[in-house]
Chain A
Amino acid sequence: MELILAIAIGVLTTCGVWLLLRPRTFQVIVGLSLISYAVNLFIFGMGRLRIDAAPVVEGGVIDPANYTDPVPQALVLTAIVIGFAMTALFLVVLLAARGFTGTDHVDGRER
């Protein structure tokens, strides 16, 4: 399971970085989205991978070994929301740049 997750994060990051370095704004935004997926999975992985363990602790005396770490899950939730908002904002700027310059090149002019 660790290997699959690590490869998935690696593939997402690789594709994201490659797209981020491309000259078209649409490629850049898809690249940034892929990177943010990779980062979210990475944060999730930092809480250690557990199967069949709940993150929410019940009242009373509990054994922490039966539960998974809830903190990274809360962090991922925050990071997803922020990443989503930022992508939406970037999309607006992207469209504005397209309108102003008449091209979708990141520098606002071809070559």
Chain B
Amino acid sequence: MHMLTDHLVILPILLPLATGAILLFLDDRLRPVKAAINFASTLLLVVLAALLVRHAAEAGQADAVGNATYPLGNWPVPFGIVLVADRLSALLVLLTSILGLCALAFSLARWHAVGPSFHSLFQFLLMGLCGAFLTGDLFNLFVFFEVLLAASYGLALHGSGSARVRAGLHYIAINLAASSLFLIGAALIYGVVGTLNMADIAARVANVADADRGLLEAGAGILGIAFLVKAGMWPLGFWLPNTYAAASAPVAALFAIMTKVGIYAVLRLSLLVFGDEAGASAGFGHAFLLYGGMATIAYGAIGALASQSTARLSGNLVLVSSGTLLAAIGFGNAGVVSGALFYLVSSTLAISALFLLVELVERIRIEGADILAVTMEAYGDDEEEDEEQEVGVIIPGALAVLGISFAICALVLSGLPPLSGFLAKFAMISPMLNPEGLATVNEVSPSAWWLAGLLIFSGFAALIALTRTGINTFWATIAEGPAAVRVIEIVPVIVLLGLCVAMVVLAGPIMTYLEAAATALHAPAGYIADVLAAPVVVDMGAAP
């Protein structure tokens, strides 16, 4: 047990790596075995991530308990690579593992069999995601980004077909260009500061010579562009709806967390390196994030209204979610960021569920109904025949479950009470309008009005778009025969949406955790001290 807690921080990376490697050696004819191994490993990952969250929640509570750190290869900290699991990292690892488990369960019904090496790529994607969330080293972050991108290229093409290959080509080209920007930015920062450890960079930023400061900020800006391409900020996110709409359902559900990796990197680095203690560079880039995020919300909301297919609608809702988070980070207030973290979890769960639902819903629809419905709206609805059928239609069980799930998704994504989307928006807008707390009376800044207005507008747009899709799907003439939905496909959707409901019930403890996380992000001194003082194991004789 002692061994487990010592090495807990690295296990979410090692476990998927080992599982993915083992699965490579198994032939595809043993697919049930591979599926079983993959499922067991992902389930174990959820348990490990939950332990990590429990450990992180204790950090800072009792004396002498800091953030969990893990120096790789036992090298002392600024020289070697270090893994850090603070509250934010642990939370995102848990979210990744839960999405992974649900997407995997969904894929077992059908999708995992349509192409080779699905299970290995799936585990490597989980490894890259967990690694990117846990690492405390800038170049190591690049390596984990490449691991997760390489796996995502394979998964985006999973199932093959002309549309996927075409969208995949654009996706790969854009991400390769973004990776070059990442390297340029990281190299510039190393050239100025002389270290790649994030905490060490943050500790040295205030003392950078004025002549070098421009170079440092240029490096940070280029690095930021690389992250924002991944996060899908307008005008860098045009690739996103195409790729997500073309990807197979379980892959798209897992991709819902991939934009959040870019968001995480921006959140971590902008608050750590350019926080209040950064001297002349404090607050660098925050205004850019705020306005860029607001433009992304507007673009995503208009895109959602204009979407003709449900998959593209979900892709545009991913953009809205990204934009909201970026604007909240750029707003520069710990209260807003803690609300934004709640929004991150809730919107990722709901979008992931929506991507899974889209696939199930498409099955009960008539081919081309999307375009037909939009055309009918434009040219007037002339469907007046079926008036005598109002005696009563038997709603099949599967259809009812799908409809209710879709309605819950719409409620969460548009931010209507009583579900988690509403709480998240409330938690963001309240500190936006009262940054000093509810007790003091203060003037509301114009950017707060704009952002709050855009948040409510984007919720309204999502509501209209989702309601229209829902009406055209569930209240329209549906395909002949009962809806073919298997239990293993609907259970992941119910689990994801159930977690959104659970977030409402447990909102108190979750918000306490997230507020502590946001406060720690805005006061990076604790993080820096924990990482730089990361202990190396001294008595090597104790370990066999």
User: Hey, which bits of chain A sit against chain B, CB under 8 A?
Assistant: 20, 25, 28, 32, 35-36, 39, 42-43, 46-47, 71-72, 75, 78-79, 82-83, 85-87, 89-90, 93-94, 96-97, 100-101, 106-108
Contacts and interface: CB of A to CB of B under 8 A. Distances in A.
B273 to A, nearest CB: 18
Interface string B131-171: 00000000100010010001001000100111001101110
B150 A32 contact: no
Interface string B175-187: 0110110011011
- A-B pairs, 6 with minimum CB distance: A46-B191, A43-B187, A108-B166, A100-B162, A46-B187, A39-B183
Contact of A101 (B150, B166, B190, B191): B166
B162 A101 contact: yes
Contacts of A79: 183
Contacts of A90: 172-173, 176
Chain B at the A interface: SS class: helix
Nearest to B169: A97
A93 B165 contact: yes
B176 A75 contact: no
26 contacts: A20-B173, A25-B169, A28-B173, A32-B176, A32-B180, A35-B180, A36-B176, A39-B183, A43-B183, A43-B187, A46-B188, A47-B191, A71-B196, A72-B187, A78-B143, A82-B143, A82-B179, A89-B153, A93-B157, A96-B157, A97-B169, A100-B162, A101-B162, A101-B165, A106-B170, A107-B166
Which of B146, B186, B188 has the most A CB atoms < 10 Å from its CB? B146
Contact of B150 (A36, A71, A85): A85
Interface of B: 139, 143, 146, 150, 153, 157, 160-162, 165-166, 168-170, 172-173, 176-177, 179-180, 183-184, 186-188, 190-191, 196
A110 B180 CA distance: 28
A97 B190 contact: no
A5 B176 CA distance: 23
A83 B176 CA distance: 8
Contacts of B187: 39, 42-43, 46, 72, 75
Nearest to B166: A108
Contacts of A97: 165-166, 169
A106 B190 contact: no
B394 to A, nearest CB: 43
Nearest to B190: A46
Given A43-B187, A46-B190, A89-B153, A20 B169 contact: no
Contacts of B161: 100
Between A72, A87, A90, the greatest number of chain B beta carbons within 10 A of the residue's beta carbon is seen for A90
A21 B399 CA distance: 47
A3 B16 CA distance: 46
Contacts of A83: 179
A29 to B, nearest CB: 9
A93 B172 contact: yes
Given A32-B180, A47-B191, 20 more contacts: A20-B173, A25-B169, A32-B173, A35-B177, A35-B180, A36-B176, A39-B180, A39-B184, A43-B183, A46-B190, A71-B190, A75-B186, A75-B190, A82-B146, A87-B176, A89-B150, A94-B169, A96-B157, A100-B165, A106-B170
